[in-house]
């Protein structure tokens, strides 16, 4: 694979380019699901190929090939150069790359158990145990579980001398119990909805999640929702669990800080951003308690956005995004860094695979936990009147990332510091900056976890990558609730 | 990309490598190129070629799949071994069927319309320079209107085939060209998108002019209070919102009790003027004429005059449904050629949706209406170009939420008056399709939230806007 990257780089460099890089990538996946006591889906896949990125005549070109023979790789490099020269016909100015020292490195995701060394029998046995626990609860009409592993090995070589070999592992699992009765379908998921919890770790993540131990409770909650009261419509104090707050960060902080969106590069599909350049350093994004970082470093934790180098060879960094409520940073790349006066890329360029051009992506965009000790139960106890919402059910936000609406699977009304009744179909909505400015409490490190969003889509052709979001439960005042059913 | 003959040779090798009772291989290959522009310049320009083989093995009720994009013997052996290993460790599933024979697939396809040619040399032959010239033209339109443009122009050639060890061998060859254009002004925007298997049917200049006109006419948008409005949804907007209900027109969704049709097949949840078919052979449709097991895609009536008539079935789902407690309540049960590749937990889905607008389907008016006629007949309403970030809020009442985007207009006294700030909606699809006052002639349309369809513009009363955003 590395030889293929070297061949591609040599071929592209011979084509008169001012910059070239080649990424040879090998991806292996295992995907298992069960449904109502049977295997739903069992598959493995591998995908190998190379992507060649060049700048010629001041414009970008990219070509990719699954054929790793010398002639095919050389042809891909030649196509990349041809594509770049075509791009140059419609350019306003030459591409400018921020300087970056050449890196020579080897890195592998730290893990205890390589998930691919675990047997399929072992994986399915666990999922079927969870499935049986859920279906043992009367009223459950559908039980679904899933488990996924991925290993991505890449070789990045650039005309500037970088030579980086990385191997990233990601692991995920989760389940959902559905209950259909009367004219309602209710569901509960664990540890999170839409695929569960995902991190860049080995099989030890699965072993730590207590999947079987929580299955019955989750199934019982799905059934109990049929007897719960509807979430009221109006204005309320809300507390969000960490997983929901992670998605809130993803949508209302992570996407608007992508500098390519801000600069209009995503205007046709993903949209633009309300965070225009003059807001950097000036906007009051949130309350004093809001501190958000974009951190791809291993020391931040094993999020889906953790790596040693991004896909253009820039080392992982931590960028302060919101500091004591003030907007302080964007996600940037070598091409876009100069637009914010930065000398160096923030190291966020990533591609879905060998056949995609890397673009700016969230790394681990995380809210930092509160400094004073505060557990979720203490936060609830300190809330006189409110609604505690848990586990995302639906999410939507406008194309500049102002107006959002989220639905959750379950909620509890809080009165005088106690959960007094379950509520079904909870939802809340608002405007991004108003929402973050209303945060008046956040739980401390003990409640903080990095949640994985494995399905973040962006770009044309669309690329789906995983992002990480560290969060602990937090409280927000004067939030509109219940409008989804208004 | 592999030819059908080369794929057959690869399949012969796979059969030799496998000890399974039955083997199936799905081949997909594509040559894809996309030129992306923003800020009136090309900023991304990519080409890719890839072929993938996905191998399924069967052992007496146990099945699994392994996929690779490498075709050397070692890679194929590894994929076969992975598939067999995954299959062997499972408990046998009594509902898993033997693979369909060529005769079974042929018999199921009898009477089906022939699929028109979907490969066009002119689309396959587009070069990077050709795409750059088209983008130059779009940028020129933006310049003429003092706007900034962003978008894509792509072309692809793809091949898809399925072979199995009991004699089935199907092959499909297709091209597709796609243009999507956003025009941006200081406080407004406009958008158009279209694709076709035949690039000669796309008119980039016209799309650019329409998008530009929308950006210009929606400048300085007004904010009006959210509430229930008559809306005119252009075809792309109609497509993106109605697309959220078609996962439920599936036998498995009924068996799983996760469909909003759980108790509604045979009832009339929609208005008299709603008629929906799934029709892969329709001349405006694209895609292969066979499903994930190689069965011919049938033309299936989903909704007739507002009545839910049928859902679609993979082979195993049809058999399971016939033996289920729901059998008497779901109408005709037969494999319809809509199954996903096995194994899967979702079963099947209609993905070649065609709305029909028969002239007699209306009380008044009695014929399809153009968007201009819909506007002219509207005292007060909202014209919507595009919807965005649509997600399901309630699975049984089929409430979905989302935003308007890139061209939202106030209509008063039969005329477009001005642009509007964008709205959030929370709308039940059941009540929306009960409130359709007018439909246009259906056209091939594409959006970003749902798959491409043949769909009309719709004039809908009491569409539920719940909030407005800040632009």
What residue ranges do the domains of chain A occupy?
2-227, 230-485
| pLDDT computed for residue B360 by the predictor | 60
SS (H, E, C) B33-50: EEEEEECCEEEEEEEEEE
Q: Which residues contact B5 (CB under 8 A, 6 or more apart)?
A: none
| pLDDT computed for residue A341 by the predictor | 97
| pLDDT computed for residue A35 by the predictor | 96
Give this prediction's pTM.
0.96
Strand bridging mode A59-65 / B41-59: parallel
Q: Report the alpha-carbon distance of residue A121 to residue B449 in Å, rounded.
A: 37
In the sheet that A318-323 helps form, which strands lie side by side, from edge to edge? A326-327, A318-323, A292-295, A365-367
Say if CB A326 and CB A281 are below 8 A apart.
Answer: yes
Helix (H, G, I), strand (E, B) or coil at B426: strand
The minimal CB distance from A180 to the residues B68, B182, B257 is found for B257
The answer to whether the complex's ipTM is over 0.90 is: yes
List all residues of chain A from 85 to 124 with a beta carbon under 8 Å from chain B.
Answer: 85-87, 89-93, 119-121, 124
pLDDT digits (tens, 9 = 90+) for A273-311: 999 999 999 999 999 999 999 999 999 999 999 999 999
Each residue's pLDDT expressed in tens, for chain B with a length of 471 residues: 899 999 999 999 999 999 999 999 999 999 999 999 999 999 999 999 999 999 999 999 999 999 999 999 999 999 999 999 999 999 999 999 999 999 898 888 787 888 999 999 999 999 999 999 999 999 999 999 999 999 999 999 999 999 999 999 999 999 999 999 999 999 999 999 999 999 999 999 999 999 999 999 999 999 999 999 999 999 999 999 999 999 999 999 999 999 999 999 999 999 999 999 999 999 999 999 999 999 999 999 999 999 999 999 999 999 999 999 999 999 999 999 999 999 999 999 999 999 999 766 555 446 889 999 999 999 999 999 999 999 999 999 999 999 999 999 999 999 999 999 999 999 999 999 999 999 999 999 999 999 999 999 999 999 999 999 999
- Return the closest-CA partner of residue B412 out of B383, B370, B452, B451: B383
Q: At what angle do helices A70-87 and A2-13 cross, to 10 degrees?
A: 40
Q: What single DSSP character describes residue B201?
A: G
Helix (H, G, I), strand (E, B) or coil at A322: strand
Query: Which CATH code fits A2-227?
Result: 3.30.2290.10
Q: Which residues of B touch A144 (CB under 8 A)?
A: 345
Say if CB B213 and CB B189 are below 8 A apart.
Answer: no
List all residues of chain B from 167 to 206 with a beta carbon under 8 Å from chain A.
Answer: 180-182, 184, 189, 191
Name the segment(s) of chain B with CATH classification 3.30.2290.10: 4-210
Q: Which residues of A touch B69 (CB under 8 A)?
A: 46-49, 66
The pLDDT of A106-133, averaged and rounded, is 97
The minimal CB distance from A83 to the residues B49, B128, B148 is found for B128
List all residues of chain A from 441 to 470 with a beta carbon under 8 Å from chain B.
Answer: 460-461
Whether A339 and chain B come into contact, CB under 8 Å, resolves to no
Structure token pair of residue B359: 């002239």
Strand bridging mode A418-424 / A292-295: unpaired
Could you report how far apart the first and last alpha carbons of chain B are, in Å?
Answer: 46
The class level of CATH for B4-210 reads alpha beta
Q: Give the phi and the psi of residue A207 in degrees, each rounded to 5.
A: -70, -25
Tell me the count of A-B CB pairs closer than 8 A: 278
Q: Which residues contact B329 (CB under 8 A, 6 or more apart)?
A: B263, B265, B266
Q: Which residues of A touch B34 (CB under 8 A)?
A: 460-461
Whether A267 and chain B come into contact, CB under 8 Å, resolves to yes
Q: How far away is chain A from the Cα of B323, in angstroms, using its nearest Cα?
A: 17
Residue A160 has pLDDT above 70, yes or no: yes
DSSP strand E in A217-369: where? 229-230, 234-240, 292-295, 318-323, 326-327, 349-350, 359-360, 365-367
List all residues of chain A from 135 to 174 with a beta carbon under 8 Å from chain B.
Answer: 141-142, 144
CA distances for B139 relative to B40, B44, B181, B212, B278, angstroms: 5, 15, 10, 11, 38
Residue with tokens 């608007």: A256
Q: How far away is chain B from the Cα of A376, in angstroms, using its nearest Cα?
A: 27
Q: Report the alpha-carbon distance of residue B272 to residue A332 in Å, rounded.
A: 53
Q: Report the alpha-carbon distance of residue A442 to residue B123 in Å, rounded.
A: 55
Q: Which residues of B touch A71 (CB under 8 A)?
A: none
| pLDDT computed for residue A15 by the predictor | 84
Say if CB A243 and CB A392 are below 8 A apart.
Answer: yes
- Return the closest-CA partner of residue B436 out of B233, B282, B153: B233
| pLDDT computed for residue B89 by the predictor | 93
Structure token pair of residue A103: 């890196």
Q: Which residues of A touch B43 (CB under 8 A)?
A: 60, 87, 265
The minimal CB distance from A394 to the residues B67, B127, B393 is found for B393
The minimal CB distance from A403 to the residues B48, B392, B403 is found for B403
Say if CB A285 and CB A325 are below 8 A apart.
Answer: yes
Say if CB A88 and CB A74 are below 8 A apart.
Answer: no
CB contact (8 A) between residue A268 and residue B46: no
Structure token pair of residue A182: 């009367």
Q: Which residues of B touch A180 (CB under 8 A)?
A: 257-258, 262, 396
CA A25 to chain centre: 21
Whether B47 and chain A come into contact, CB under 8 Å, resolves to yes
Q: Report the alpha-carbon distance of residue A355 to residue A376 in Å, rounded.
A: 44
Q: Which residues contact B99 (CB under 8 A, 6 or more apart)?
A: B22, B24, B58, B164, B165, B166, B168, B293
Say if CB A238 and CB A476 are below 8 A apart.
Answer: yes
- Return the closest-CA partner of residue B256 out of A144, A31, A41, A42: A144
Q: Report the alpha-carbon distance of residue B337 to residue B348 in Å, rounded.
A: 9
Reported as a pLDDT band with limits 50, 70 and 90, residue A419 is very high
Say if CB A2 and CB A24 are below 8 A apart.
Answer: yes
Whether A84 and chain B come into contact, CB under 8 Å, resolves to yes
Whether B52 and chain A come into contact, CB under 8 Å, resolves to yes
Whether A305 and chain B come into contact, CB under 8 Å, resolves to no
Q: Mutate which of A30, A42, A184, A187 to disrupt the B interface (most B C-beta within 10 Å)?
A: A42
List all residues of chain B from 285 to 304 with a beta carbon under 8 Å from chain A.
Answer: none
């Amino acid at each position: 694979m590395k030889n293929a990257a070297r061949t591609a780089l040599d071929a592209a460099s011979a084509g008169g380019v001012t910059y070239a890089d080649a990424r040879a990538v090998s991806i292996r996946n295992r995907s298992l699901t069960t449904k109502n006591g049977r295997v739903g889906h069992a598959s493995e896949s591998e995908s190998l190929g190379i992507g060649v990125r060049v700048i010629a005549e001041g414009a970008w070109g990219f070509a990719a090939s699954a054929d790793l023979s010398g002639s095919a790789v050389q042809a891909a490099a030649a196509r990349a150069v041809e594509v770049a020269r075509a791009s140059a016909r419609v350019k306003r100015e030459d591409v400018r790359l921020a300087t970056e020292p050449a890196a020579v490195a080897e890195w592998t995701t730290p893990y205890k158990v390589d998930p691919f060394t675990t047997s399929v029998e072992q994986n399915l046995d666990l999922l079927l145990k969870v499935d049986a626990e859920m279906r043992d609860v009367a009223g459950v009409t559908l039980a679904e579980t899933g488990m996924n592993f991925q290993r991505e090995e890449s070789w990045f070589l650039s005309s500037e001398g970088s030579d980086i070999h990385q191997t990233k592992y990601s692991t995920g699992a989760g389940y959902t119990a559905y209950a259909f009765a009367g004219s309602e379908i209710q569901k509960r998921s664990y540890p999170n909805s839409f695929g569960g919890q995902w991190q860049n770790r080995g099989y030890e993540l699965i072993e730590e999640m207590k999947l079987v131990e929580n299955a019955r409770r989750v199934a019982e909650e799905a059934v109990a929702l049929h007897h719960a009261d509807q979430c009221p419509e109006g204005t309320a104090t809300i507390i969000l669990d960490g997983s929901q707050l992670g998605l809130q960060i993803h949508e209302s902080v992570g996407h608007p800080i992508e500098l390519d969106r801000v600069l209009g590069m995503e205007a046709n599909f993903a949209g633009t951003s309300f965070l225009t350049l003059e807001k950097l350093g000036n906007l009051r994004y949130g309350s004093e308690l809001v501190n958000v970082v974009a951190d791809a470093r291993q020391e931040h934790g094993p999020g889906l956005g953790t790596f040693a180098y991004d896909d253009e060879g820039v080392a992982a960094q931590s960028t302060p995004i919101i500091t004591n409520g003030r907007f302080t940073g964007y996600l940037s790349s070598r091409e876009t860094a100069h637009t914010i006066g930065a000398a160096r890329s923030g190291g966020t360029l990533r591609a879905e695979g060998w056949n995609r051009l890397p673009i700016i992506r969230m790394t681990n965009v995380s809210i930092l936990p509160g400094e004073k000790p505060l557990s979720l139960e203490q936060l609830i106890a300190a809330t006189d009147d409110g609604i505690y919402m848990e586990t995302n059910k639906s999410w939507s936000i406008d194309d500049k990332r102002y107006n959002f609406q989220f639905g959750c699977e379950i909620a509890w009304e809080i009165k005088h510091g106690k959960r007094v009744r379950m509520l079904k179909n909870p939802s809340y909505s608002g405007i991004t900056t108003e929402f973050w400015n209303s945060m008046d409490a956040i739980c401390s490190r003990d409640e903080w976890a990095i949640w994985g969003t494995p399905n973040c889509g962006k770009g044309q052709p669309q690329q789906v990558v995983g992002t990480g979001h560290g969060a602990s439960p937090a409280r927000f005042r004067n939030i509109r609730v219940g409008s989804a059913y208004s | 990309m592999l030819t059908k003959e080369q794929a057959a040779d690869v399949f012969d090798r796979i059969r030799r490598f496998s000890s399974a009772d039955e083997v199936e291989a799905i081949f997909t290959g594509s040559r894809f190129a996309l030129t992306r522009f923003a800020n009136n310049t090309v900023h991304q320009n990519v080409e890719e070629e890839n072929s993938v083989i996905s191998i399924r093995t069967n052992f007496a009720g146990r099945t699994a799949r392994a996929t690779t994009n490498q075709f050397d013997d070692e890679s194929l052996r590894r994929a076969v071994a992975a598939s067999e290993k995954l299959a062997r460790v499972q408990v046998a599933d009594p509902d898993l069927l033997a693979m369909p024979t060529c005769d079974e697939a042929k018999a199921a396809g009898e009477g089906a319309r022939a699929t028109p040619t979907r490969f066009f040399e002119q689309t396959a032959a587009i070069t990077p320079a050709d795409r750059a010239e088209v983008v130059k033209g779009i940028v020129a339109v933006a310049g003429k209107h003092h706007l900034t443009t962003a978008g894509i122009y792509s072309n692809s050639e793809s091949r898809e085939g399925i072979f199995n060890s009991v004699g089935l061998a199907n092959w499909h060859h297709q091209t597709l060209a796609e243009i999507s254009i956003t025009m941006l002004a200081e406080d407004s925007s406009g958008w158009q998108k279209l694709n076709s298997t035949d690039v000669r049917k796309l008119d980039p200049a016209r799309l650019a002019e329409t998008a530009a006109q929308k950006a210009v006419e929606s400048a300085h948008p007004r904010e009006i209070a959210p509430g229930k409005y008559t809306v005119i949804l252009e075809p792309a907007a109609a497509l993106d919102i109605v697309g959220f209900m078609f996962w439920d027109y599936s036998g498995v969704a009924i068996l799983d009790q996760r469909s909003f049709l759980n108790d509604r097949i045979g009832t009339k949840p929609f208005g008299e003027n709603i008629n929906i078919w799934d029709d892969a052979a329709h001349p405006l449709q694209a895609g292969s004429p066979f499903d994930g097991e190689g069965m011919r895609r049938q033309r299936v009536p989903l909704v007739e005059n507002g009545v839910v008539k049928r859902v679609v079935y993979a082979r195993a789902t049809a058999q399971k449904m016939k033996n289920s407690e729901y059998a008497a309540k779901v109408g005709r049960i037969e494999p319809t050629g809509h199954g996903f590749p096995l194994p899967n937990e979702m079963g099947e889905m209609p993905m070649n949706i065609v709305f029909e607008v028969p002239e007699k389907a209306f009380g008044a008016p009695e014929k399809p209406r153009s968007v201009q006629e819909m506007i002219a007949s509207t005292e007060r309403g909202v014209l919507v170009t595009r919807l965005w970030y649509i997600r399901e809020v309630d699975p049984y009442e089929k409430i979905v939420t989302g935003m308007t985007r890139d061209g939202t207009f106030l209509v008063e006294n039969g005329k477009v008056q001005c642009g509007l700030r964008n709205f959030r909606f929370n709308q039940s699809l059941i009540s929306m399709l009960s409130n359709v006052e007018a439909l246009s002639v259906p056209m091939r349309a594409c959006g970003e939230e749902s798959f491409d369809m043949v769909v009309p513009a719709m004039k809908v009363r009491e569409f539920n806007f719940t909030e407005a955003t800040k632009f």
